[in-house]
Amino acid sequence: MNTDMKRHLLTLIVLLLLHFNNFAQSTFELGFLPTLNVNKKLPKDWSLNFKTESRQSLIKDDFNYDYLLTDISLAASKKIGINTSVAMGYLMRIDDEGIRNRTIQQITFVKRHTGFRLSHRFLADQTFEKDDETEFRFRYRISSEIPLQGKSLDPKEFFLKLNNEYLNSIQDKNYDLEIRGGAFLGYVLSPKNLIEFGLDNRLDSFIEGNPRNRLWFGLNFYMSF
Amino acid sequence: MRSICKQSDYNPMRTILILMFLFTLSLSGFAQFKYEKESRVNKRDVPAFARNFVDSLNFSSKVKWYKEIGFSTVSFEAKTRHKGKRYSVEFSEAGSFEDIEIEIKPNEIPSEVYNEISNYLSHKHINYSIEKIQIQYTGDANRILDYFNNIGSGSGLVTNYEIVVAGKMDGTFKMIEYLFSKDGSLLQMTPITSDRTDNIEY
């Protein structure tokens, strides 16, 4: 092993130790995050997307099942280029405290490469709460979809989906950054239906205060018609 | 009385014929689109002629084999990188040679041919982008082998350009595969069925 490699290995070990040390001080939550996603194609490159997601906590310090919330959203999307689409939508969040409303605007670029597809999503959302200031978020997500059989994804084939998202949040002059990372194994059931399951890790509040680390078991079902 | 007349006019054979006609129309609608289900296969599952043909081309990198199932055809395809370019060699289900395609850049097409192709595409689409260009060689398998092993002159081989274009057509964005001859004349146009993107968009 040459000196350069030793130095890189040492840096990697130190970074990993720091990372785990951070986690040790953070609050940790483990839960279940099933999602149903329905997409309806409309003429002239328009489409409608309906999504519902439920968040359930399984472990927060101790094992303790807790239903947290349900999100229901509807978005209208228009293709403005072969690889580009814009969407606007509304999300309703239902939890113990009541209902919160969120408006969403996004632009997505999907690029097909040999052997995988890459998507860049820029999203802005505004969450309106009854007794709180409006929260503004600016998000960027990169997703890749890698077919595990062949160079393109076809029915009855498995694929791997990897996500990394950065969420900048501003609420009442307070800034926070959330970093999400996800790894999913997917299967194309038919040209209209696909299913994914995997892990979605979300880390926030690490700029000020104790970091909050949440790990979700995700189960996503996509339908299109 | 009217209903009795209607009943007597009813011809089940005509209904079957209409249904068969509509079914045929729907199938021909599918056939106009390019659809391929591609899956990786082992070299040993490929017909011997195809294996030997690719071995004779002496590619420098590892060759990956795929089975492609279209609406009405099955084929085998060998893919590799050689001298910095992506090669794909296609064979029928029985293993007979069909074509060799090599990915190239626009400036590798003779300028007068490229202008001819660009003119055609500009008339067809208001805005378009070229996603992929491949030079395609078809012809006698032995002559192809000689040509690629620098033995033959390439006479008798047919050279075409396969170009995948993304553009707006009939009011919607589409991917279209065009096949142009060596001199830039259009030979074939096939829309490519669009793949779903909802799971990486939402």
A45/B172 CB distance under 8 A: yes
* Chain B residues inside the 8 Å CB shell of A191: 196
Render each residue's pLDDT in chain A as its tens digit; 225 residues. Answer: 445 545 655 665 555 445 445 555 678 899 999 999 999 999 999 999 999 999 999 998 788 899 999 999 999 999 998 889 999 999 999 999 899 999 999 999 998 888 899 999 999 999 998 888 999 999 999 999 999 987 788 888 899 999 999 999 999 989 999 999 999 999 999 989 999 999 999 999 888 888 999 999 999 999 998
The CATH number for A13's domain is: 2.40.160
The share of chain A scoring above pLDDT 90, in percent, equals 69
Q: Give the separation between CA B192 and CA B175, rounded to whole angstroms.
A: 5
B199/A45 CB distance under 8 A: no
CATH T-level fold of B104-202: Nuclear Transport Factor 2; Chain: A, (3.10.450)
**Residue from the list A75, A153, A222 with its beta carbon closest to the beta carbon of B195:** A153
* Chain A residues inside the 8 Å CB shell of B201: 49, 77, 85, 87, 108, 110, 119, 121
Could you tell me which chain B residue has the CA closest to the CA of A74? B202
pLDDT of residue B5: 38
Q: How many CB atoms lie within 10 A of CB A152?
A: 19
Report H helices in chain A.
Answer: 3-25
Test the A interface: residue of B40, B103, B198 with most A CBs within 10 Å: B198
Q: Give the separation between CA A18 and CA A6, rounded to whole angstroms.
A: 18
Q: How many CB atoms lie within 10 A of CB A68?
A: 15
Cβ(A161)–Cβ(A182) below 8 Å: yes
CA A127-A109-A77 angle, 5° bins: 55
B38 touches chain A (CB under 8 A): yes
Predicted ipTM > 0.90: no
B39/A150 CB distance under 8 A: yes
* Chain A residues inside the 8 Å CB shell of B66: 150-151
* Chain A residues inside the 8 Å CB shell of B195: 112, 117, 152-153
Per the structure, the complete domain to which residue A9 belongs is given by 3-224
pLDDT of residue A15: 53
For A20-56, b where at least 16 C-beta lie within 10 A, e where not — what string?
eeeeeebeebebbbbbebbbeeeeebebebbbbbbbb
Q: Looking at this protein, which amino acid is placed at residue B149? A: N
pLDDT of residue A1: 46
Q: Looking at this protein, which amino acid is placed at residue A121? A: R
E strands along chain B, which residues?
37-41, 64-69, 74-82, 85-92, 97-103, 128-138, 158-169, 172-181, 186-192
pLDDT of residue B21: 47
- Enter the tokens of residue A14: 């130190």
- Enter the tokens of residue B71: 């609406």
Cβ(B164)–Cβ(B136) below 8 Å: no
- Output the pTM of the full model: 0.76
Render each residue's pLDDT in chain B as its tens digit; 202 residues. Answer: 333 334 445 555 555 555 544 444 444 443 445 566 788 899 999 999 999 999 999 898 999 999 988 777 899 999 999 989 999 999 999 999 999 999 999 999 999 999 999 999 999 888 888 989 999 999 999 999 988 888 877 788 999 999 999 888 888 888 899 999 999 999 999 988 777 889 999 9
* Chain A residues inside the 8 Å CB shell of B166: 82-83
Q: Give the separation between CA B118 and CA B102, rounded to whole angstroms.
A: 20
B38/A150 CB distance under 8 A: yes
B202 touches chain A (CB under 8 A): yes
Q: Considering its fold, how many domains does chain A have in total?
A: 1
pLDDT of residue A13: 56
- Enter the tokens of residue B12: 């089940």
pLDDT of residue A91: 98
**Residue from the list A44, A85, A149 with its beta carbon closest to the beta carbon of B201:** A85
* Chain A residues inside the 8 Å CB shell of B172: 43-45, 79
**Residue from the list A37, A43, A81 with its beta carbon closest to the beta carbon of B173:** A81
Pairing of strands B85-92, B97-103: antiparallel
